[in-house]
Amino acid sequence: MGSRAKTPVSLLFLAAVLVTSIAVVGSGLLFGYKYVTQQQITTKQNELVEKEKSFDYDAMNEVVRIDKKIKAVEGLIANHTAVSNLFSLLEENTLRNLRFTSFDFSYLAKDKIAVTMSGEATSFGVVAKQAEAFSLITGNNGFSDSIFSDLNVNERGNVVFSFLTSVNPLAVSYLDNYNKTNSPNNNTQ
């Protein structure tokens, strides 16, 4: 009877079948992934179109317009000069026997303010004491490079003079002074 001899399956054939099977399965998975991804993209695009249709552009434009106004006001406040702060400083530090008869305030640069004043005092000693009092006003609210000049005696026997000083811009900054007076440490209730 004819018995057939079993032929061994070659390893090379098995490897080829295995690689082909993996390639076919991998291709199928890749195709499926591509299909699912395309469906998700289409769904998200449709959702985006629907959201865009429901978006209120008029309200957004109003918010942008108000934001621009707020930023403009913030800029104005940040750059606002409050010369009244300087007047208060002068009032607190001017001696009784001395008075100022003129006042000129000018910006020489963004960070340099010049104040020029003329005044009258009862004596040279009062002018010297005033110079000393102003020299003690330093720091953010202070004077620097202060000069008393043109000292003379007028017809009434009083000493007339000119005064020139540089003022720190923070001394006349509305925002800086507002923040100082409204800080939690300054609120006494």
Tokens of 102: 């003129």
Contacts of 154 (CB under 8 A, 6+ apart): 120, 160
Reported as a pLDDT band with limits 50, 70 and 90, residue 189 is very low
Q: Which residue has the higher pLDDT, 133 or 184?
A: 133
DSSP annotation string for 4-68: PPPPPPPHHHHHHHHHHHHHHHHHHHHHHHHHHHHHHHHHHHHHHHHHHHH--HHHHHHHHHHHH
pLDDT exceeds cutoff 70 at 183: no
- Taking the CA of residue 35 as centre, how many other CA atoms within 13 Å lie in the half-sphere pointing to its CB? 6
Reported as a pLDDT band with limits 50, 70 and 90, residue 177 is low
CA dihedral sign of residues 21, 22, 28, 29: positive
Reported as a pLDDT band with limits 50, 70 and 90, residue 167 is confident
Burial of 9 (0-12, 13-18, 19+ CB in 10 A): exposed
What CATH fold (topology level) applies to the domain 83-181? Gyrase A; domain 2 (3.30.1360)
The proportion of the chain whose per-residue pLDDT surpasses 70, expressed as a percent, equals: 85
pLDDT digits (tens, 9 = 90+) for 19-57: 999 999 999 999 999 999 999 999 999 999 888 888 888
What number of other Cβ atoms are within 10 A of residue 130's Cβ? 22
The proportion of the chain whose per-residue pLDDT surpasses 90, expressed as a percent, equals: 42
pLDDT exceeds cutoff 70 at 116: yes
pLDDT digits (tens, 9 = 90+) for 150-166: 999 999 999 999 999 88
pLDDT digits (tens, 9 = 90+) for 57-85: 888 899 999 999 999 988 887 777 777 77
Tokens of 70: 């707020």
